Structure 1
Amino acid sequence: MQVVRRVFDASRKGQRIVANIYSASEAISDSERTRLTLLLAHANGFHKELWEPTLERVFAHKGKSWFIDQAIALDSYNHGDSAIVNRSFIDNEEFSPWTKNASDILAVLAQLGSPRNIIGVGHSWGASSLLLAEIMAPSSFANLIITDPVLHPGNSQSARDLAKLTLRRRYQWNNIDEARQYFTNHPFFRIWDQRIIDLHLRHGLEQIDDGSFVLKCRPTNESAVYSGSRDDSPHAMQNLPRVQCPVAFLTGDTSEQAPPQHITKITKDMVDCRHVVMNDVGHLLLHQDPDCTGDWYVDFIDAFVSKGAFPTANL
C-alpha cells in the first residue's frame, strides 16, 4: 500500500484531525469496476495505523468487481497524531461525548468533496461513532461495516469501571525496549497479532523531553471517552432503526462489549442489516486476527456492491 498523511479541520474551531490515506501500490484505472472509498474509525485508546494489516488484506484481494480507490484512516481528536496537534485542547479532559467523534467524522466527510461513495468502517467506539454520525446526518455513508460496537442501554457499570481502571494504567516507559517487553508480556496485549503490537509501539507512543516514551492517547483522554458513553451509546442503540443504509456487523464470539446475542437482539428492526460472528476472538478481533477480519470485510463489500451501483468517488 501507499500512504500519505492529510490533516483535516475538526468540527471545533482550532482542532485538527490527522489521517492516513492509503491506496493500492499499483495504479488502477479500470473504469468498468466500482470505485470505493473507505473511511475508518478506530477503537478507544488506539490509533489509525492499527488498521494497516487488515487493509493490506483487503487490498490484496484481486479479481473483484470493485476496487478501493482510497482508505482514509482517522486519528480521533484526542488519540494518536491528532492528540499531539490538539494537546492544548485536551490536556485536562474528563468527559468526551461520543457525538464529538461523530461530528468530527462528519466534518471530514464534508471536506472530501462530492460526489462520494464512502463505506464507513469502524471498530468499538469508532463503530458506535459511525452509527451516531449516520443517525445525525442520514445518507452520509453508502454502507457501514460495524465491528464489535459498544452499544449499551445506559447506566453502564462496565463503562464506569473502565474509566477508573484506565486512569491507573501504565502509560510511560524509560525506553522503547522496556515498552516492547511490557506489551509483549502483558496478558491483555500478548494475544494480539505481532504486527499489531509492532504498529502500536511504532505509532502509539511518542518520545517526550526527558527521553521516555508515553502513549499519545493519555489515560485521561481514554478514560474521558469511556465516561462519554453515558448518553451517546444508548442513543446510538435506541436509534439503530433510523439507519437506512446497508449495515454489516462483525462481532467476536467471546466479546464482552458486544455479545453476539445482544447485537442480534438490538439490530432486529434495522432496515438492511447482516450480522456475522467471528470465532475464537473477543472484542479486539481486529487486533487478534486482522487477516480474518479483512476477509470478512471483503465479503461484506462484495455484498454491498452486488446490491446496486455507486456514484463515482471524487476526492
Structure 2
Amino acid sequence: MPAADANYFTRPSDQPPGFVPFAARPLPPLRPVPLPHPTALPALPYPQRPSPFPDYELTTHLTPCAQPRAHRSATQRSIRPPYPPPQQEQLKSPSTREDKADRAREADALRERMWAQRVEMLGEPSWQEREEPVLWAMVNRFLRKERMGMGGGGGVTLFFVHANGYPKETWEPVIGILLDMYDKVDEIFVWETYNHGDAALVNRENLGDTFDWADNARDVLQFLLFYRPGLGAGAPVCLPPHERDEQRRVIGVGHSHGGEILVRAALHAPELFDALLLVEPVIIMETLAVPTRRASQRRRDELLLRTTLARRARWPSMEHARDFFARAPFFQSWHPAVLHAYVTYALCPLPSSSPGPGPEGKAVMLKQSPFDEASFYVEPRAPAETWFLLPLLDERVELRWVLGNDLAGFQGGEAYARHMVWRRPGNSSNTVIGEAGHFIPQQAPESLAREIADLLIRRDALPPAAQWRARL
C-alpha cells in the first residue's frame, strides 16, 4: 500500500460531484487478427533508427488493431476532409488573416457535421461484425542489451501511452531521465495509436471519420495478449500472433487520453498490470449527451474542437516549422528536449504530388491530420464509461495519480479531481506536480521521471508476493 504521506489529496471531496449513471459497454472478446500475406504487409515509413539510450536496443514494430472496430465509420469516410489538402489549398499562405478566417469557417462547418455523425453513431450498437481493413498501431521497443537472448530477467517492463496529438517519440526525454535514475528496466514499449505519428502514415488509406477511445484500449490489450514479443527475442516489423507467453512485470504510464486507455485496459484484464501511473488522465463523469453537463465543460470541449480543426498543419520547410513552434505561446513552457522531439517526429515532408521544394527546403506537414486530432474531442462515451467502472478495478493493480497545477483545465476543478483519485481508494495514492499544468511530460519531464522512479524503487522494497500479486 502507498504511504499515507504520499497523497496530495488525503480524502475525497466533502461534496462529491454528481453524475448520471448509464450503461457502460462491456468490451467484446479479443481474438488474434491473422496477418495478411507477406507481400501485403505494410512497411515502416522510415528506416529503423539507432537507440538514443546506449544500454538498450531500439526496434519499431507494427501490431494489428483489434477487430471489429466500434463503428463502421472508423474505417469509412463520409465527412473526412482530404489530407494533405489539395494542391490549390497548399499554395495559399497559411498565415494570412484571410487564410486563418477561411480555416475558422471551414472548421465550424466541419464541427457541426462531426457532432451530427456522432449522434447517429451513439444510436447504433457498438462492435458489430463486418468486413473492414486492418488498422495498425505502432510500438517502439527498447530492450536492454544485457538481457537479449537470455530469455528472462528480473527487471520491469514499462508501457507508455501518449496523449492525443503527440507522437510516441515525445516520451523519450522522460525515459532518458528515468533510466539515469533507475537501472532495473529490462524492456520499454512506447505505444503509438493508429492515427498518430508514423502510424497515421501507415494507415492513411484506411482512416475513417470517427475514433472511439475504447477501441484504443482494445488495441493495447490485443498487443499485450497476443503480439508482444518474448523477452530477449528478436521480432519482425509486423508482429505475428502467438500463444500468450509468460507474464512479465508490466507497469503502465499514460498521459491524458493515454491514462484513460490504460485504466480501461486494466479493468478488462487486470492480470496484465502490476501498477498504473496516471498522468493527468482524462476520465470524466459525464457524457456529452447528458443534459445536466456543465456549461463550462461544454465550452471547453467546443473550444478544443474548434481550435484543433482550424490549426495550422503545413509549413514551407522544416526550418520554418521549428521557428513557428519555438515562437508559439503554447510551446513556450515546454522542455527544449520535448519540443525538439515533437517537431522532429510529428512532421513529415508533403507527398511528392504536392508543390516542390521551396528555397529553404521541402514543405512539411503534421503526420496526424487536425481532423484526426479533433475526433478525440467528439467522443462522449468511453472516458465516462471508465469513470463509471473505476471502482471495479482490481485493487491488486496499484494506482498512482499524478496531476498538474491547473485542476480546472482537464480535471474539472479540485472537487472533481479529489473525487476521481479516491474513486477506487484501495492501493491508490496521488500527487500534484506544481511546476506544470496538464502537459506534465512536456513541461516537467524531470519531475515526472522522478515520480516514475520513486514508484519503481518503492515497489522493489515490497516483498516478492506483493510485487507479483497482480499475476495471481
Same fold (TM over 0.5): yes
Post-superposition Cα deviations, 1:175-211, rounded to whole Å, max 9, x if no partner, equal 0011011110111012101111111111111112234
> Which of structures 1 and 2 has the bigger CA Rg?
2
The question of 1:227 aligning with 2:378 is answered yes
Residue 211 of structure 2 is matched in structure 1 by 96
Return 267-276 or 256-265, whichever deviates more: 256-265
Query: Do the aligned partners of 2:147 and 2:153 also contact (CA within 8 Å) in 1?
Result: no
Correspondence for 2:410 among 252, 257, 262: 257
SS in 2 for 1:152: coil
Query: Do the aligned partners of 2:401 and 2:421 also contact (CA within 8 Å) in 1?
Result: no
Post-superposition Cα deviations, 1:2-35, rounded to whole Å, max 9, x if no partner, equal 32112212113511111111245x6369999841
The question of 1:212 aligning with 2:363 is answered yes
Residue 273 of structure 2 is matched in structure 1 by 141
Residue 444 of structure 2 is matched in structure 1 by 289
Correspondence for 1:20 among 121, 132, 140: 140
- Shift of the 32–14 alpha-carbon distance from structure 1 to 2, 3 Å rule, reads closer
Distance in 1, Cα, partners of 2:153 & 2:265 = 28
Residue 122 of structure 1 is matched in structure 2 by 254
Residue 160 of structure 1 is matched in structure 2 by 302
SS in 2 for 1:235: helix
Q: How many residues end up aligned between the 2 structures?
A: 304
Distance in 1, Cα, partners of 2:337 & 2:392 = 37
Query: Do the aligned partners of 2:259 and 2:281 also contact (CA within 8 Å) in 1?
Result: yes
Residue 71 of structure 2 is matched in structure 1 by none
Distance in 2, Cα, partners of 1:300 & 1:206 = 36
TM-score, normalization: structure 2? Answer: 0.61
SS in 2 for 1:72: strand
Distance in 2, Cα, partners of 1:267 & 1:307 = 23
The question of 1:240 aligning with 2:382 is answered no
SS in 2 for 1:139: helix
| Residue type at the aligned position of 1:138 | P
SS in 1 for 2:282: coil
Distance in 2, Cα, partners of 1:39 & 1:227 = 26
Distance in 1, Cα, partners of 2:449 & 2:271 = 25
Query: Do the aligned partners of 1:163 and 1:226 also contact (CA within 8 Å) in 2?
Result: yes
Residue 80 of structure 1 is matched in structure 2 by 197
SS in 2 for 1:88: coil
Correspondence for 1:6 among 52, 61, 85: 61
% of aligned pairs identical? 24
Query: Do the aligned partners of 2:247 and 2:272 also contact (CA within 8 Å) in 1?
Result: no
Distance in 2, Cα, partners of 1:28 & 1:114 = 16
SS in 1 for 2:137: strand
Query: Do the aligned partners of 2:317 and 2:363 also contact (CA within 8 Å) in 1?
Result: yes
Query: Do the aligned partners of 1:246 and 1:304 also contact (CA within 8 Å) in 2?
Result: no
SS in 1 for 2:381: helix
Distance in 2, Cα, partners of 1:142 & 1:75 = 21
| Residue type at the aligned position of 1:143 | A
The question of 1:46 aligning with 2:166 is answered yes
Residue 105 of structure 1 is matched in structure 2 by 220
Matches within 5 A, 1:266-277: 266-270=420-424, 271-277=426-432
Return 2-11 or 182-191, whichever deviates more: 2-11
- Shift of the 159–308 alpha-carbon distance from structure 1 to 2, 3 Å rule, reads farther
Query: Do the aligned partners of 2:314 and 2:363 also contact (CA within 8 Å) in 1?
Result: yes
Residue 61 of structure 1 is matched in structure 2 by 181
Post-superposition Cα deviations, 1:79-121, rounded to whole Å, max 9, x if no partner, equal 011111111121x42x311101111110110122332211111
Distance in 1, Cα, partners of 2:459 & 2:378 = 34
Post-superposition Cα deviations, 1:197-256, rounded to whole Å, max 9, x if no partner, equal 11111111111223421111111001111112x111111112211122111011111241
| Unmatched runs of 5 consecutive residues or more in structure 1 | none
Return 142-151 or 264-273, whichever deviates more: 264-273
Query: Do the aligned partners of 1:254 and 1:280 also contact (CA within 8 Å) in 2?
Result: no
Query: Do the aligned partners of 1:153 and 1:237 also contact (CA within 8 Å) in 2?
Result: yes
- Shift of the 27–162 alpha-carbon distance from structure 1 to 2, 3 Å rule, reads same
| Unmatched runs of 5 consecutive residues or more in structure 2 | 1-52, 68-132, 229-244, 289-296, 355-361
Distance in 2, Cα, partners of 1:119 & 1:14 = 28
The question of 1:200 aligning with 2:342 is answered yes
- Shift of the 276–260 alpha-carbon distance from structure 1 to 2, 3 Å rule, reads farther
Distance in 1, Cα, partners of 2:329 & 2:415 = 26
